[in-house]
Structure 1
Amino acid sequence: MSEFENVTAPPPPPASSQAPQEERTMALVAHLLGILTSFVGPLIIWLINKDKAPNSFVVDQSKEALNFQITLVFVYIVGIILSVIVIGVFINMLAGLAGLILAIIAAVKANNGEAYRYPFAIRLIK
């Protein structure tokens, strides 16, 4: 009897709960388009994918990006109104910087298959 006859096959790899690469890429694009197109890019991605699977990764992340970009639009409007007393300029600069940094962090997390939640976002799209 050879020593290889008693060896059993290795167990199958664990089932991955991670999103498929295509969905992760679309979620990455949704977050990064928010930097360039404000809420329009995430809105288009969400509208394209919303009927495919209600609990899919790309739908969840595009809604999150859309909600965050809508929140930033509200902050920019308040900043423009408050620019009369100079503080609005600083509000808009901080909002722009926060939007850029948080969108990049969200894109990296989405590409890794992790669901990202922005620290401040009005959840208008549920």
Structure 2
Amino acid sequence: MKEDKQLLVLTHLSQLLDFVSGIGGFIVPLILWLTKKDEIYGMDFHGKAILNFRISMFIYILICIPLILLLGLGILGLIILGFLYLILPITNAIKASNGEAPHYPLSIQFIK
């Protein structure tokens, strides 16, 4: 296995493709993880962290949608989730470039 911090950084930053394409932020990290998890040191761990974060955020968004009818709480939830969608991939890309483990708070561990 070889070490490739740049690819790990790009994997985290590829989540931001959602702001451009809608679903690319899930598809691209998934493809990178599936194709490189056995070749790149740390890719398996980083890829699982990203996918767990993405699946968790999707569930939280689904929960927020009906909450919009309840005094607009869903709107506040969507704003907070949007902020997390933007900030956490960037901070974890910086961690990956420094050789640190990623941390995505509120992630449910679907893939172990």
Output the TM-score relative to the length of structure 1.
0.74
**Where does residue 25 of structure 1 map in the other structure?**
6
Residues 53-97 of structure 1 deviation map (CA, whole Å, 9 limit, x = unaligned):
6xx312211111111111111111111121122111110110110
Matched, 1:119 2:105: yes
Counterpart of 2:82, as a letter, is: G
**Where does residue 97 of structure 1 map in the other structure?**
83
* Identical-pair percentage: 35
2:47 to 52, 56, 62: 62
Please report how far the alpha carbon of residue 35 of structure 1 lies from its aligned counterpart in structure 2 after TM superposition.
2.2
Please report how far the alpha carbon of residue 119 of structure 1 lies from its aligned counterpart in structure 2 after TM superposition.
2.0
Q: Distance in 2 between matches of 1:82 and 1:38?
A: 25
Please report how far the alpha carbon of residue 46 of structure 1 lies from its aligned counterpart in structure 2 after TM superposition.
1.0
**Where does residue 93 of structure 2 map in the other structure?**
107
Q: Distance in 2 between matches of 1:81 and 1:27?
A: 35
**Where does residue 40 of structure 1 map in the other structure?**
27
Please report how far the alpha carbon of residue 41 of structure 1 lies from its aligned counterpart in structure 2 after TM superposition.
2.0
Give the unaligned 5+ runs of structure 2.
18-23
**Where does residue 84 of structure 1 map in the other structure?**
69
Structure index of larger Rg: 1
Are 1:42 and 1:63, in contact at CA under 8 Å, matched by a contact in 2?
A: no
User: Size of the alignment, in residue pairs?
Assistant: 104
Residues 82-125 of structure 1 deviation map (CA, whole Å, 9 limit, x = unaligned):
11221111101101101211111001110111111212211111
Counterpart of 1:48, as a letter, is: T
Q: Which one has the bigger helix percentage? A: 2
2:59 to 59, 74, 81: 74
Q: Distance in 2 between matches of 1:80 and 1:38?
A: 20
